[in-house]
Amino acid sequence: MASSRPSNVQHQSAPKDAETGKDFNQYLELYRAALRGDWNMAERVLMNDNHAATARINPNFETALHVAVMAKNANNFVAKLVDFMPNASLAYKDKLGNTALYATATAGNIEIANILINRNPDLLYIANNRNRYPVHEAARIAKRHMGAEKNNIADLWDNGGNSLLHLCATLAPPHKLNLVSGAALQMQRELQWFKEIENFVLPYARESKNSDGETPHLIFTKEHKELKKEGEKWMRNTASS
């Protein structure tokens, strides 16, 4: 099966990493399978090695998932591969700090982005070493290919009718909220994030309703109700102290 990577890469060996001494030849068969979208080959490796699905398989410290999401016609391969992976392992980063979702944004594959986000919504909040998020990469790709929005995760929808903006309207997990101290600042950060995504998604997605009849703004209001109260209380206490 064709790959978006140079064909000669498929035939070269994965050398030993100079820094760690890790021998990537152990996973060369899985590496080639991910490049080609060859599930039969990949499944043989995965069934014989419990660690293969989450292992770093090349010198860029990519997992098989990182490699597969960049290949052409890899949707079925990825859907089967993630069934072998704990949800937390979908957040593994390569040497550049990119998750598989970031790589998916580069490739502009909506279906794969859906698969990954439905399994681990936290992926949307994970930045790489340059502090860039998957949505930033998606925006960059969209600007490069004007008129190709349908091939971008800006047009992502899940089975519940949730757009990317619906997903980003939910309250960030605690470990992300706690990057800043104080409920007021946390609320400000959440609002900034929501506005950034709102400016990025396609216009009709901003007021669209999911299968529960909820708009992104309604979800944001519900999810952040308590944080808003805490922020207002924090502001009052700060002003009176």
pLDDT score of 72: 84
Considering the chain, what percentage of its residues have pLDDT values greater than 70? Answer: 83
Q: Which residues of 205-225 are buried (b: 16+ CB within 10 A; e: fewer)?
A: beebebeeebbbeebbeebbe
pLDDT score of 105: 87
- In angstroms, the CA 191 to CA 220 distance is 9
pLDDT score of 230: 92
70 in Cβ contact with 4 (< 8 Å)? yes
37-74 tens-digit pLDDT: 999 999 999 999 999 999 999 999 999 999 999 998 89
- Please give the model's pTM, rounded to 2 decimal places: 0.64
DSSP string, 135-168: HHHHHHHHHHTTT-GGGSGGG-B-TTS-BHHHHH
108-147 tens-digit pLDDT: 788 898 899 889 988 988 889 988 888 777 766 655 544 4
pLDDT score of 88: 95
